[in-house]
C-alpha cells in the first residue's frame, strides 16, 4: 500500500507543479506590471521592486495554489483513468474509500498551508507593502535638491542653495496662498513620531499685511508637512480584533478562509471529475472543472462581501456536495 500511495502522489505532483509554476509566472507578470506602474509616482530601485514583489507573493499564492491543486488533481486522476491504472487497482482490491484517503492527506496539507498564508502572511505582508509605498511616496515629496526650482514642501515652494544629506543651507520658501516668504541659513528634516518636519534655523519671515510687509526674525522654526507615514501594528491578534469593526476587512478574511478550505472540501469533486471514460466523457472534463472553480470563486466573493459570516456555510455545503458526487461517480461503481 505505501508503494501505491507514493505512486499516486508522484503522479499528482507531476500534474500539479507545471500548472502551479505556469499560473504563478503569469500572475507574477500581472503584479510586476502593477508595481512597475508605481515608478511614475515614486522613485524605486531594482531592489525596491524586488522587495515589493516579495510582499505580494502571499497574495499570488492565495489564488494560484488552490486553483493549481484542483486542476492538478483532476488531471492526475484523468491520466490514471486514461491509462486504466485506477481501474486495475480497483480490480485488485483498492476501495474507493482508500483511494480518496490518499488524496485527502495531500488536500489537508494544502489547506493548512493556504490558511496560514491567507490569514497571517497575506495580511502582514499587505500592511508592509502599504507602509513601504507610503514611505516611498513621502520620501519622493521630501526629496529636496539643491539649485532646482519648482520644488515643494507641503504648501511651500522651496529653493535650496546647497544640500548635505538631510541638511540644507541658504533655503528660501514661499507660500503663494498666504503670501509669505521665509529665508533661513540652515534647515534639516526631522522625523518625530512619524510626523515629518522641516526645522529652520537663523532665519526671517516676511508676510504681507494689507499694504505693508511684516518681518519676523527667528532662531528656530518648525514647519510640518501635515502628513505622516501610516504605521500599522503587525501583531496578528490586533489584526483580528480590528476585523470586527471593519466589514470590508471581515469580508476579505471570510473569502480568504473559503479559498483556504477549497482543497479540503473539493478534492472529492476533483477525483470524481477525473474518473471518466475517455471514449465518451473526454470533452466534458475541462467544462466541469473550470465551471466549478469559476462558480465557487464568484459565489464566495459575492456572498462574503454581502452576507459576511453566513457565507462560511459554503464550507460544509461544498464538502457534502462533493461526497454526494464522489459516491455517485466513484463509490457506487468501484
Q: For 276-334, how does the pLDDT look when each residue is reduced to its tens digit (9 = 90+)? A: 776 666 657 888 999 999 999 999 999 998 888 899 999 999 999 999 999 998 888 77
- Taking only the tens place, the pLDDT of each residue in 149-163 is 667 777 778 888 887
Q: What is the mean pLDDT of residues 104-123?
A: 94
* Residue 55, pLDDT above cutoff 50: yes
Of 11-20, 35-44, 102-111, minimum mean pLDDT range: 35-44
* Residue 229, pLDDT above cutoff 60: no
Give 198 or 146, the one with higher predicted confidence. 198
Q: What is the pLDDT of residue 261?
A: 97
> What is the torsional sign of CA 128, 134, 136, 142?
negative
* Residue 110, pLDDT above cutoff 90: yes
Q: What is the pLDDT of residue 140?
A: 61
Cα maximum dimension of the chain: 104
The Cα–Cα gap between 133 and 51 comes to 11
Of 74-88, 245-259, 299-313, minimum mean pLDDT range: 74-88
* Residue 233, pLDDT above cutoff 50: no
Residue 38 to residues 78, 117, 189, Cα–Cα distance (Å): 43, 25, 25
Q: What is the pLDDT of residue 132?
A: 83
- Residue 64: pLDDT band (50, 70, 90) is very high
Instruction: Provide the whole-model pTM.
Output: 0.78
Grid cell for residue 179? 503670501
The Cα–Cα gap between 64 and 274 comes to 20
Q: What is the pLDDT of residue 22?
A: 96
Query: Residue 201, SS3?
Result: strand
Grid cell for residue 189? 528634516
- Residue 238: pLDDT band (50, 70, 90) is low
Which range, 27-31, 143-147, 210-214, 215-219, has the best average confidence (pLDDT)? 27-31
Amino acid at each position: 500500500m505505501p508503494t501505491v500511495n507514493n505512486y499516486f502522489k508522484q503522479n499528482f505532483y507531476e500534474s500539479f507543479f507545471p500548472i502551479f509554476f505556469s499560473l504563478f509566472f503569469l500572475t507574477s507578470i500581472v503584479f510586476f506590471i502593477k508595481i512597475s506602474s508605481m515608478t511614475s509616482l515614486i522613485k524605486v530601485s531594482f531592489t525596491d521592486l524586488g522587495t515589493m514583489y516579495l510582499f505580494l507573493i502571499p497574495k499570488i499564492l492565495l489564488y494560484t495554489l488552490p486553483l493549481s491543486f484542483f486542476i492538478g488533481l483532476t488531471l492526475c486522476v484523468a491520466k490514471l483513468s486514461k491509462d486504466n491504472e485506477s481501474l486495475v487497482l480497483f480490480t485488485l482490491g483498492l476501495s474507493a474509500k482508500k483511494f480518496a484517503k490518499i488524496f485527502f492527506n495531500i488536500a489537508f496539507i494544502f489547506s493548512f498551508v493556504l490558511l496560514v498564508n491567507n490569514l497571517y502572511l497575506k495580511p502582514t505582508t499587505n500592511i508592509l507593502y502599504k507602509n513601504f509605498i507610503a514611505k516611498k511616496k513621502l520620501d519622493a515629496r521630501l526629496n529636496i535638491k539643491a539649485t532646482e526650482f519648482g520644488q515643494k514642501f507641503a504648501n511651500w515652494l522651496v529653493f535650496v542653495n546647497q544640500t548635505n544629506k538631510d541638511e540644507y543651507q541658504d533655503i528660501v520658501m514661499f507660500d503663494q496662498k498666504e503670501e509669505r516668504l521665509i529665508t533661513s541659513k540652515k534647515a534639516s528634516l526631522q522625523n518625530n513620531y512619524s510626523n515629518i518636519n522641516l526645522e529652520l534655523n537663523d532665519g526671517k519671515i516676511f508676510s504681507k499685511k494689507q499694504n505693508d510687509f511684516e518681518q519676523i526674525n527667528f532662531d528656530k522654526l518648525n514647519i510640518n508637512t501635515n502628513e505622516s507615514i501610516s504605521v500599522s501594528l503587525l501583531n496578528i491578534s490586533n489584526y483580528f480584533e480590528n476585523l470586527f469593526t471593519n466589514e470590508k476587512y471581515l469580508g476579505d478574511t471570510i473569502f480568504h478562509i473559503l479559498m483556504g478550505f477549497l482543497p479540503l472540501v473539493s478534492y472529492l469533486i476533483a477525483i470524481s471529475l477525473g474518473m471518466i471514460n475517455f471514449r465518451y466523457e473526454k470533452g466534458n472534463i475541462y467544462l466541469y472543472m473550470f465551471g466549478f472553480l469559476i462558480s465557487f470563486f464568484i459565489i464566495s466573493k459575492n456572498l462574503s462581501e454581502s452576507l459576511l459570516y453566513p457565507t462560511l456555510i459554503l464550507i460544509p455545503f461544498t464538502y457534502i456536495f462533493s461526497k454526494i458526487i464522489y459516491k455517485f461517480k466513484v463509490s457506487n461503481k468501484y
